[in-house]
Structure 1
Amino acid sequence: MDIKPSAVTDPQGQQQPALKRFPTLDNRELVKTSFWISQIFMILATVAGVYLAAQEGLSQAITFDSLTNQQNNYYLRHALYDEVADNVDEIDNYVAVIVTKAAHERKNFRPIMATFVWDNMRYSPHTLETPSSILSQTRRFYMKSADIVDKVERGFYGAAYGGKLLSALTEQMRQTTLPMLKQSYTELKQTLRENDIEVE
């Protein structure tokens, strides 16, 4: 059943359809100062909340990235320490052997130097985060020890003299480089532990 709007009569006596009346809006709140102040504070609170949330998220991301890098550096330095310590022992064993062997036999006792970690560090993005003094001393150890061993085998150095040079080299590594390297990865381990990250 359709409901038609009631008709109204105009001054000439003719009936005209009634106009629909729309509800009127109460705009009194819009002119009040308190309304606008509350809206401004809401906008400011929203902007501040978004800003603080973004800052906290960025801070957490930076902290996570830093701890991940430190963890990777810990494993890299620890592995390098183990490898260099083994190589120092290998050189010392070589020195003890060559003084008892004839010149033509010394090539048979060439020290087997492990360089897996050292060789692969060139591909690691964390290598240059290792203190430069440690990297320089390790590089010199590998370079000088290889040179001395080669000269001993060729007879350019005698076994006693070559052994003396190698012993001085390994002593320097034991007294300086290895302790520095151990302290370096130990400090990283402590920092990670303080952030509830256990490494071994």
Structure 2
Amino acid sequence: MDLNQYIDHTLLAAGASAAEIEKLCHEAVKYKFYAVCVNSSRVKYAKKVFSNSEVKLAATIGFPLGGSSTESKIIEAGTAVRDGADEIDMVMNIGLFKDKNFEAVQAEIEAIKKEIGDNILKVIIETCYLSDEEIEIASRLSMNAGADFVKTSTGFGSRGASLNDVKIMKKVVGDKVKIKASGGIRDAETVRKYISLGVERIGTSSGIKIIS
């Protein structure tokens, strides 16, 4: 099993410098990771570093809290795609979700998917703030809204992914939507456990350690 092709090589720290982003991109090419994941303001720079690489470029939207307006998320997502992003990792509006305003949550996801067209959309539901039942509901909303992936975590919440989160998500989405696990995944054994549950992408800043 080639673990490198499951990995989104990630750098989302607030203080990540251009030099660090460049290093991330070069590492992704060297180790043949599936994608890199950066904050949206770094997409244009990362795309320049990549030029002719097969590595995909993912950008975070509404990150890490998910609480920005739908309008601002749409603009951020559209800009990221025009700047060269292949994939968008958006944070669901967790406050609206907790209000049980599920219609608005789904409408936001649909609007962002419409904005980015054929580009891949991953919806981060931030499982650390959700009950098991809420994880089910959020996964279903993401699926119904046309998301390509449902994703566990930002890595900036009170905890990252868990195997239980993924089991719940998989039960809901089956093979209709892919699953990305992220947050706190730092070794190959853990990655294999997630893959065995049906996870198709792993978000981690420990990619080199994992494949080594």
Normalising by the smaller structure, the TM-score range is under 0.3
- Judging by fraction of residues, say which structure has more strand: 2
Could you tell me the TM-score, scaled by structure 1's length? 0.25
Which structure has greater helix proportion?
Answer: 1
Greater RCO (Cα-Cα under 8 Å, separation 6 or more):
1
TM-score, normalised by the number of residues in structure 2: 0.24
